[in-house]
């Protein structure tokens, strides 16, 4: 029995990041009474929480924005090739204001539990502020990389000085001046933060377990003419984004496998790809992420360049990745990451050679000994894809817990819906291609698809929709088969759950591309939502 506040809505959306905000706009326009519940005290999701120094988007700013409103894209101007976290956050705030979204968002409130009632075909959504909301639709817009991984290092709690997690950075910032700082991790977040921390700290020690493949971002201010040219062709560009493999239309993907490309042309393409951002190099050969030899051509090219950026050859070698193919862990873009190790106040600890033993009250102990620090920064990543969904105790038909259903890994249909959990939708859920793409493109595609599905149900007086077990099984098999055609399963990545101790290992992203995926989703809708079962409101019609 719930004794707190009780309210009703047509739809509840969890999360006010870019997914939740657009979903709210769509459902409200369709006439649904919609409530968004958000843990933070502002909108922006990822860009609200990740305020560490140097935080920036790795997708070019002109493409990392909503495409749903031609007026919005005309009135907003990005200032740099890659936008900083503060600029993206102010874009999110601008959007919230422009469409008056805040009035339907409840901030500083966390959804703890959501229970489906088969008799009423409704969800009851419970919050940590004691509210229960009854809703027909529950939409999880909780993000793919939103729950930081719990520090999985012995003694992490025992450190006496301040500790910070990149994904939960204090809003007031952190002053490292004169401090002896440790950073644990060398993923995207660490690679962005380290050059900034090194400039302030008296001494910085970086603990590296697996070296990353990082390319120079080549960030720079955008010129007025670049911005206005994009504004002139934005409508075409949005279409290109939709029907592109990663939602990143430039550079276009080359069609030949590396073996068919003569050496000189290979070299030319590699030099070109080097400056073209996240997808620059993987688009240069059709089989870059599928063939070991093709991939090795790219990996060797990057290794040489990493070596050229670090003065001490031994240090350069320690920073160079060998243990997994390029692109099978998320590649990084950096500004002065490798050069930072040329500074006198920066030290690298190779945890492969001297493994981490524990965090102590004074510092960090590896097999080589203990070092004292004033501050420790955990840049240790996220419980990706499933973390935020499983943090909420979601109960479907027959009281089934989502955590039980997913005990051996997440199964969904299209990454959008889950058998046994009617009228629950997951924006960019597991086994959708989202994390391998420009998130904005994937978010809009999912939100549009879910909104259209709800609209279709309403037109037909349908009360519930859920995927069949068979459709879900088939999608899982298709996903696995596609992933196994690539090199992705070779890396211990967060795509596969390998970064969280004890997490089931299954490849959690659809690798065939957002373009192919969009076509599949559209076909499912056009065929009357094949793979889904729907039901009318029987009891109420009979009554």
Which residues sit at the interface with ligand NA7, rule CB under 6 A?
Answer: 145, 152-153, 166, 184-190, 207, 209-210, 330, 351, 356, 379-382, 494, 499
**Least Å from the CB of residue 26 to ligand NA7:** 25
**Least Å from the CB of residue 149 to ligand NA7:** 6
The Cα–Cα gap between 325 and 113 comes to 40
**Least Å from the CB of residue 436 to ligand NA7:** 10
**Least Å from the CB of residue 494 to ligand NA7:** 5
Kindly tell me which of 263 and 501 has the beta carbon lying closer to ligand NA7.
501
Strands (E), 60-110: 105-106
Residue with the CB atom nearest ligand NA7 in the bound state: 187
The Cα–Cα gap between 324 and 211 comes to 10
Kindly tell me which of 189 and 486 has the beta carbon lying closer to ligand NA7.
189
Kindly tell me which of 365 and 478 has the beta carbon lying closer to ligand NA7.
365
Query: Angle at Cα 425 formed by Cα 424 and Cα 427, nearest 5°?
Result: 155
Identify the CA nearest to 437 among candidates 281, 289, 251, 245.
245
- Rg (C-alpha) for the chain, rounded Å, is 24
Query: Could you give phi then psi for residue 362, rounded to 5 degrees?
Result: -105, -20
**Least Å from the CB of residue 340 to ligand NA7:** 15
Contact between 288 and 282 (Cβ < 8 Å): yes
> What is residue 502's DSSP assignment?
T
Kindly tell me which of 187 and 467 has the beta carbon lying closer to ligand NA7.
187
The Cα–Cα gap between 148 and 166 comes to 8
Identify the CA nearest to 246 among candidates 521, 518, 525, 523.
518
Kindly tell me which of 34 and 50 has the beta carbon lying closer to ligand NA7.
50
Q: Which helix (H) or strand (E) holds 448?
A: helix 439-459
Kindly tell me which of 289 and 379 has the beta carbon lying closer to ligand NA7.
379
**Least Å from the CB of residue 133 to ligand NA7:** 31
Kindly tell me which of 26 and 56 has the beta carbon lying closer to ligand NA7.
56
The Cα–Cα gap between 435 and 441 comes to 11
Query: Angle at Cα 56 formed by Cα 438 and Cα 391, nearest 5°?
Result: 70
**Least Å from the CB of residue 187 to ligand NA7:** 2
> What is residue 103's DSSP assignment?
G
Q: Which tokens is 541 given?
A: 């019609």
Kindly tell me which of 351 and 516 has the beta carbon lying closer to ligand NA7.
351
Q: For the chain, what percentages of helix, strand and coil (3-state, to nearest 5) are there? A: 35, 20, 45
The Cα–Cα gap between 192 and 239 comes to 31
Contact between 224 and 208 (Cβ < 8 Å): no
Place of tokens 């259209």: 452
Kindly tell me which of 187 and 409 has the beta carbon lying closer to ligand NA7.
187
* Contacts of residue 476, Cβ cutoff 8 Å, sequence gap at least 6: 411, 431
The Cα–Cα gap between 464 and 422 comes to 6
**Least Å from the CB of residue 213 to ligand NA7:** 11
Kindly tell me which of 189 and 241 has the beta carbon lying closer to ligand NA7.
189
Both ends of the chain: CA-CA distance in Å?
26
**Least Å from the CB of residue 215 to ligand NA7:** 14
**Least Å from the CB of residue 249 to ligand NA7:** 19
């Amino acid at each position: 029995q719930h004794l707190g506040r009780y309210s009703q809505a047509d739809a509840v959306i969890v999360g006010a990041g870019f997914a939740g905000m657009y979903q709210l706009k769509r459902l409200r326009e369709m006439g649904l009474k919609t409530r968004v519940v958000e843990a933070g005290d502002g909108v922006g999701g990822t860009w609200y929480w990740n305020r560490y120094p140097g935080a920036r988007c790795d997708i070019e700013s002109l493409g990392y924005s909503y495409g749903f409103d031609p007026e919005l894209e005309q009135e907003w101007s990005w200032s740099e090739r890659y936008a900083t976290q503060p600029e993206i956050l102010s874009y999110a705030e601008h959007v919230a204001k422009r469409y008056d979204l805040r009035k339907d968002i409840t901030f500083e409130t966390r959804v703890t539990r959501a229970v489906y009632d088969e008799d009423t075909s409704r969800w009851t959504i419970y919050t940590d502020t004691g509210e229960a909301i009854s809703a027909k639709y529950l939409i999880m817009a909780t993000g793919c990389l939103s729950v930081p991984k719990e520090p999985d290092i012995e003694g992490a709690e025992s450190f006496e000085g301040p500790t910070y997690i990149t994904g939960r950075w204090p809003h007031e910032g952190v002053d490292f001046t004169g401090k002896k700082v440790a950073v644990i991790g060398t993923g995207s977040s660490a690679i962005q933060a380290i050059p900034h921390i090194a400039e302030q700290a008296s001494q910085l020690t970086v603990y590296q377990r697996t070296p990353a493949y990082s390319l120079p971002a080549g960030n720079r201010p955008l010129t007025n003419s670049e911005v206005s040219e994009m504004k002139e062709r934005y409508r075409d560009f949005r279409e290109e984004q939709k029907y592109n493999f990663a939602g990143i239309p430039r550079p276009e993907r080359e069609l030949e496998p590396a073996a068919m490309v003569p050496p000189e042309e290979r070299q030319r393409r590699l030099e070109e790809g080097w400056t073209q951002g996240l997808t620059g190099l993987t688009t240069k050969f059709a089989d870059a992420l599928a063939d070991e030899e093709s991939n090795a051509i790219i990996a060797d090219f990057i290794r040489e360049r990493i070596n050229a950026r670090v003065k001490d050859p031994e240090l350069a070698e320690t920073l160079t990745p060998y243990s997994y193919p390029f692109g099978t862990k998320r590649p990084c873009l950096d500004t002065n990451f490798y050069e930072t190790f040329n500074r006198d106040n920066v030290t690298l600890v190779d945890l492969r050679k001297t493994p981490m033993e524990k965090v102590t009250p004074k510092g960090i102990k590896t097999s080589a000994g203990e070092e004292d620090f004033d501050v420790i920064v955990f840049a240790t990543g996220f419980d990706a894809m499933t973390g935020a969904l499983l943090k909420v105790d979601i109960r479907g038909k027959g009281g089934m817990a989502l955590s039980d259903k997913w005990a051996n890994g997440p199964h969904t249909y299209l990454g959008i819906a889950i058998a046994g959990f009617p009228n629950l939708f997951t924006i960019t859920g597991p086994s959708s291609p989202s994390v391998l793409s420009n998130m904005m493109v994937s978010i809009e595609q999912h939100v549009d698809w879910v909104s259209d599905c709800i609209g279709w149900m309403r037109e037909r007086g349908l009360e519930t929709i859920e995927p069949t077990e068979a459709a879900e099984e088939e999608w899982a098999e298709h996903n696995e088969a596609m992933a196994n055609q690539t090199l992705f399963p070779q890396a211990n990545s967060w795509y596969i759950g390998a970064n969280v101790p004890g997490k089931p290992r299954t490849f959690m992203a659809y690798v065939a591309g957002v373009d192919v995926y969009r076509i599949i989703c559209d076909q499912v809708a056009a065929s009357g939502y094949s793979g889904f079962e729907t039901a009318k409101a029987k009891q109420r019609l009979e009554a």
